[in-house]
Amino acid sequence: MNPLKPARLGIGIISAGKVGAVLGAALRAAGHAIVGVHAVSEASQTRAEALLPGVPVLAIPEIVERSEVVLLAVPDDALSSLVKGLAETKAWQQGQIVLHTSGRHGTDVLAPAKECGAIGLAIHPAMTFTGLSLDLTRLKTTSFGVTGPAPFLPIAQALAVEMGGEPVQIAEGDRVLYHAALAHVSNHLVTITGQSLQILRSIGVEDPARYLEPLLRASLDNALSAGENALTGPVARGDAHTVAAHAQTLAGFAVEEEAGDISSAYLALARATAERAHRRGALTGEQYNSVLAALTVN
C-alpha cells in the first residue's frame, strides 16, 4: 500500500451516529467501499439511508468479519468495552486496520485488538457534526488529530487527506489534554451563547440569535487572528464598577430566572479573563485587584 494514497479499502462503520455516517460518506466519496454500517436507533438508520444509501445495515461482528478497515465512531466511554468484547470473541483479524474517532483516546484503548494482530490508529476530526450532508463540505477545512505507531501513521494521515482534511499528529500521552482544549472551546462556547440568548430573550429581544451573530462572528474571527490581543470589554479595561454592576445584576437574575449557572459562569470566566490579562500586562496590579473585588458578590 502506498502510504500517501491508500488502495481502495473495504471499510465497515460502527456506528451510524453523526460522526460515523459523515466520515463513512466521505470515505466512500474518496473511492473506498463501505461494506456495512451498524445502526440501531431510528435516527441512525435514517442517517445511514441518507448518507450511505445502499450500504447494508449489519450486526457488529459481521461488519468486523467483512472489513479490511473498521471505523469505530462510538462514544468515548463505550470504546474500551467494545474493543475488549470483540477481542474476547476473537473477532479482530490479523492485519486488519482499526480506526477510532475518539478525541480523548489514543491507540492504547485499542490494545485488545492489537494483541489479536490488528493495526490500531486514532483519527479525530476537530469539528462539531450535525450528521447532515453539509458536514461533508465542512470536512474540507477540518484538521484531524491522528495518533498511531510510526510505521502505520501514514495510513491515518492519508485517510484524513482523502476526506479533505489536514492531519495533525498528536502524541499518545497528549490526547486527553488535546481533547480538553477542543471540548473547552467548542462546548463552552455553546453554553455561554445559550446563556446570553436567555438573558436577551428575558428582556424582550425578539430574535436574540440575530442580534448576537455579528458580535459572535467578529469576536471569534478577531480571537483566531489576534489571540488575546483582541480582548475588549470591561474586565480587560479594568472597569471595576461595570464589572461589579454585571455581577450584582446577574446574581439577581439567577434567583429570578432560576439560572444560577449564568451567574457562576460569568464570575468564573471574568476571573479567568482578569488573571490572563494581568499576566500579560494588560491590567496593572491595582486594576486586577479592583476587578477581583468587584467579582465578590454579597
- Which pTM does this prediction carry? 0.90
* The pairing of beta strand 97-100 with beta strand 69-72: parallel
- Residue 118: pLDDT band (50, 70, 90) is very high
pLDDT surpassing 70 at residue 115: yes
Q: What is the pLDDT of residue 6?
A: 57
Give every CB contact of residue 146 below 8 A, 6+ residues apart in sequence. 121, 122, 123, 124, 153, 156, 157, 160, 167, 168, 169, 170
Q: What digits encode the pLDDT tens for the residues 76-93?
A: 999 999 999 999 999 999
In eight-state DSSP terms, residue 99 is E
- H-only helix segments in the chain: 18-29, 42-51, 60-66, 76-88, 111-115, 134-138, 153-162, 175-202, 208-226, 234-237, 240-257, 260-279, 285-294
Q: What is the mean pLDDT of residues 204-219?
A: 97
Q: What is the mean pLDDT of residues 15-23?
A: 96
